[in-house]
Structures are given as structure tokens and as C-alpha cells.
Amino acid sequence: MTRRSTFTDQSVTYGAIGATLDPDLLRYPPTGFRPAEDSVRLGSGADRFARSAEALMTWGIQKGAGFEVTDVSAGTGAQYPGIVYDANGTPLAEQPALRQEDRFGPDGTPYIAAGMTATLVRRGRIRRHRTPVLVVYVIDEPKRVGLAYGTTGGGPESGEESFILEHRDDDGVWLTIRSIFDTRGLAPAQRRKRRELTRIELRALHPAYA
């Protein structure tokens, strides 16, 4: 069962909003976009899942990957819940209401919510690179938590990236990062930097690197 909050009231720099949720993303990406999917096991058990989820939803991956998260704003406009399906893929007759409570990490950092905007700042060799993003959806389930954000302009990349944490039936806790980026204007070196950044993001919540 999927509970999803989505926000698309503001402009992003690409048209395929929410494409990282598509199970066929790798086979049929939007035209001109390069898809990627990478997963890592973070450990096992409910405590590992809870700790990882808390870090994930308070920008832990971005901070662990070397980003400074600035200009965070809750955004404006209405949020609405995605459709909830049963195990057979049929929409439920009674859809749950959108959860409204505010949640915070131990240091008071608000949990990431659909519609939030932020600027991710990373120091390069010569200058600081700024990537403004909009959180386009949030997943909040008992054993599946995550988010995706898309670029809103002002940076070299255009696309969407999702970070989904799962507590699987074998008790393993897994992080999956999926992305689609328009690579038509990127040099090979920039593409390699994107892949290296993904590897760093995968390690950000791992207890061996934290």
C-alpha cells in the first residue's frame, strides 16, 4: 500500500514529474534523459530502519554527501495525497486523508515534506555549485519511507532524484536511489561526477561511513 504526498504547484526544469516512481524507468526513460538506479543495504532491524528514516527525512543524505542545505522553505500551494492501492494494484474504495502533523528530528530540523524548496550547495575546486530543488513527492509507510526532488533552475543539471528506504521482509534495511537527468548538454566528465556523487550519497547513511 502506498501513501504519497505530491506537490507540483511550482515550476521544475523538466516535464516528467514523478518519473522516479515508474517501475519501468530504466527500460523506458523520458526522451533525452539518462536513468539510474542503485541500492545499498544499510543493515537490518527496526531500529536501523527508524534511525535511517529519521536521517533521510532531515537531509541526512545530502549533508553526508557534502552538501550545505540552504534556503529551506515549506513552499506555498495545496498538497494532495496520491492514490492508495491494494496489493493487486486496485485503488482502495476509501482513500486515507493526508497526514497533517509536523515532524522534527532530534535537533529540531523539520522533516522533509512535499512542496519544500531548498538550495543544495557543494564546494567545487574553483567555486561553490548551487542546485535549487523542489520536493515533488514524499512516501510515508510503515516499512517504506522516502522522497524525491526535482531541479528548479539555476544549475547545470535538469531532472529528478529519489531516495527510498525500505525495511524488507528478510529484515534487511535497504536504500535505493533512482534518478533521471537530461544529459544532452553535459560533458562526459560531468556525467562521471554525477555517478560519483551517487556513490557518495549511497554511503551517507551507512553505519560504516557515518
The residues facing 159 across adjacent strands are: 181
* pLDDT per residue as tens digits for the range 111-151: 999 889 999 998 877 778 889 999 999 999 999 999 999 99
CA angle, 99 as apex, 97 and 100 as ends, to 5°? 120
With cut-offs at 50, 70 and 90, classify the pLDDT of residue 155.
Answer: low
What's residue 64's pLDDT?
94
Q: How far apart are the first and last CA of the chain?
A: 31
Q: Does residue 187 register a pLDDT over 70?
A: no
pTM of model > 0.85: no
Report all structural domains of the chain as residue ranges with CATH numbers, in order of start: 4-203 (3.30.530.20)
Q: Is the pLDDT of residue 2 over 50?
A: no
| Highest mean predicted confidence (pLDDT) among 36-45, 91-100, 185-194 | 36-45
For residues 147 and 88, the model is more confident at 147
Distances (CA, A) of 199 to 23, 47, 142: 22, 24, 27
Q: How confident is the model at residue 74 (pLDDT cuts 50, 70, 90)?
A: confident
pLDDT given for residue 84 in this prediction: 55
pLDDT tops 80 at residue 91: no
Look at residue 102 in the predicted model and tell me its pLDDT: 74
CA distance 54 to 48: 10
